[in-house]
Structure 1
Amino acid sequence: MITALMESPRRVEGQRVTGRDYVSWSAINTYRQCSLRYYFKYIEGLPEETVSSSLVFGAAIHACFEHHFNELMAGSSSPGLDDLLEAFWGAWRDRNEEAEIVFAKNEDLEAVRKLALRVLSAFKQSDLANPLGTIIGIEEELRGALLPGVPDLLARVDLLTETSDSLIVTDFKTAKSRWSTHQAEDAGEQLLLYSELAKELAPGKRLRLAFAVITKTTKPVAERCPVSIDADRLTRTRRIVERVWKAIEAGHFFPSPSPIACGSCPYRAPCRRWSAIEPMNR
């Protein structure tokens, strides 16, 4: 059975095109934002020489949340703020060893320290730190086939909790400002796909989706932003994944200039050297 799965056409094709027998939502989203960036990252495997401080900050905060919920899941008391800050700087240092961290204008390590302190304090004081139900998964990897001809989707779910009647899928985000209901729904494509993989974990139970959003502001706000499960929206999202994968298979890669995204892109140098006559398929 396992051998048959590993040799299925969709996995073989994924391995041939990208060197992986799966796709992730972050990879699909990268292609949608800039197909050439996808090519450099996921096909050529070029190292990221630089990374923006905002991305590192978000990943380090996620490491804090993971540590917090792991302690709760183990039956321990909630970690203190100093403990969470230690986890934050551990994750920050690990990323700094992989690539140069580029700070925004008028930003430095002291500003990052103060922001991390505010965000983590807001988290600990919010309901997000004590989720309803029983924690059954933290940074849980789920994998499955969603569409014929497309490699398996590999999802990493930040938090899975279970109540007497529901399975709750939560994804944590840091944001510059509070999310509106429309923003949460617009970002919900990711959770809709994850719901297709998660529903097998608790058959017969209601599935609930939400983003847990904490603002990176002077006075951070931590709140849940529910995402509705809509069959038409899910179908649309599946079609997007299918068409993106077909474009990847066909070797459609090209630059997508953006005054916002290009400034922090780690592949600016190879992008400038890129020529439209270069062969893009392996």
Structure 2
Amino acid sequence: MTNRPHWSYSSISQYLRCPLQYYFQRVLGLPSRSIGSGLVLGSAVHAGLAEYHRRLKEHESIESEAILKVFHECWGEKEAGETVVYRNGESREDNREQGIQLLKLYLDEPPPDGIVAVEQRVLVPLYNSQGEYLEIPLVAIADLITATEQDLTVREFKTSGRAYSAADVESSLQPTCYVHAVRETFGRDANVEYTVLVKTKTPKVQRLRTSRYSEDCGRLGDVVQTIQRAVDLGIFYPVESPMNCATCPYRQHCREWGQPSRPMETPELVKLDIPQEAMACSLN
């Protein structure tokens, strides 16, 4: 399951966000030179949350020290593996303290009931809006799945420097990936709840719920199918923006891309006679 070619929300969103970064990481397999501080904080918080939810599910004692130990271990592993890039005004100590505050804030909330799975990984087929199954499947990893007699809910945890809006959740393909995976795995519909740990001066927990339907799952397949065609055609290009570039681990590779003395294979530039369906990937 781990070695089989597959799509995931992270690979889909990466291509939509910056096809050239997708190319460097997933086609050439270039090692990243750095990791953004936000990813380190988010990974460490997620590790602590997973330990907390696992203990709840197994009815084990909830010890904050043990959960924070997992947080610190994950943080140390990330620092040992790559150079951490901090934004202007950030520091390692402030970031770690902020992560600890967010984790403690969530632990002070009422615990979730009816835990079905923690960090559940599933491999499911994808189909397009015509009901045609795609060759490459989807892997989805749900942070937390809870159930009641009436409801099945996938809970996604985010750390963010700002509160999310309803539009952020409604326009994301991530809930669609989860709902599709649950339907294919459990044969049931599910809702998705975002739990956003907001890294403001006064940290807070924000919750937003959303739903997806059959037509959304078919559209997900259409998007993936179009991206696959674009990848097969070698359509890779940079999308330069402060959001993409500030902590991108392939920044130097990107600056060298397209230069005559480039030290790496660069995809050929595609002429403008690109099939219409392949061009659609840049519009979604």
For residues 155 and 37 of structure 1, what CA distance do their matches in structure 2 show? 21
* Residues 36 and 200 of structure 1, relative CA distance in 2, 3 Å threshold: closer
The answer (yes or no) to whether the contact 2:105–2:204 under 8 Å persists in 1 is yes
Q: 1:158 and 1:87 mapped to 2: Cα distance?
A: 16
1:118-157 alignment, distance < 5 Å: 118-127=101-110, 130-133=111-114, 135-147=115-127, 148-157=133-142
TM-score by length of 1: 0.84
Deviates more, 1:38-47 or 1:141-150: 141-150
The aligned runs of 1:46-195 (5 Å cut-off) are: 46-80=30-64, 82-127=65-110, 130-133=111-114, 135-147=115-127, 148-187=133-172, 189-195=173-179
* Residue 228 (structure 1) aligned with residue 208 (structure 2): no
Q: Return the alpha-carbon distance in structure 2 between the equivalents of residues 28 and 180 of structure 1.
A: 22
- Percent of counterpart pairs with the same letter? 29
Q: Which residue of 2 aligns with 1:239?
A: 222
Structure 1 regions of 5+ residues with no counterpart? 1-5, 7-18
Q: 1:253 maps to what in 2?
A: 236
Tell me the SS of whatever aligns to 1:260: helix
- In the alignment, the residues of structure 2 paired with residue 276 and residue 22 of structure 1 have an alpha-carbon distance, to the nearest angstrom, of 32
User: Quick one: distance in 2 between partners of 1:63 and 1:243?
Assistant: 34
TM-score, structure 2 as length reference = 0.84
Relative to 1, partners in 2 of residues 1:108 and 1:142: Cα closer, same or farther, differing over 3 Å? same
> 2 CA distance for matches of 1:206 and 1:231?
10
Tell me how far 1:198 sits from its aligned partner.
0.9
Structure 2, gaps ≥5 residues long: 128-132, 269-284
> Alignment partner of 1:254: what SS?
coil
Q: Cα distance 1:234–1:121, how it changes in 2: closer, same or farther (>3 A)? A: same
Q: Which whole-Å CA distance do the structure 1 matches of 2:108 and 2:245 have between them?
A: 37
| C-alpha contact 1:212 1:222 (8 A) present in aligned 2 | yes
CA contact (8 A) 1:209 1:226 kept: yes
Count of residues in Structure 1 that have an aligned counterpart in Structure 2: 259
Question: Could you tell me how far apart the structure 2 residues matched to 1:149 and 1:206 are?
Answer: 21
Aligned CA-pair RMSD: 2.2
Q: State the 1:206 CA deviation.
A: 4.8
Q: Secondary structure of the residue that 2:156 maps to in structure 1?
A: strand
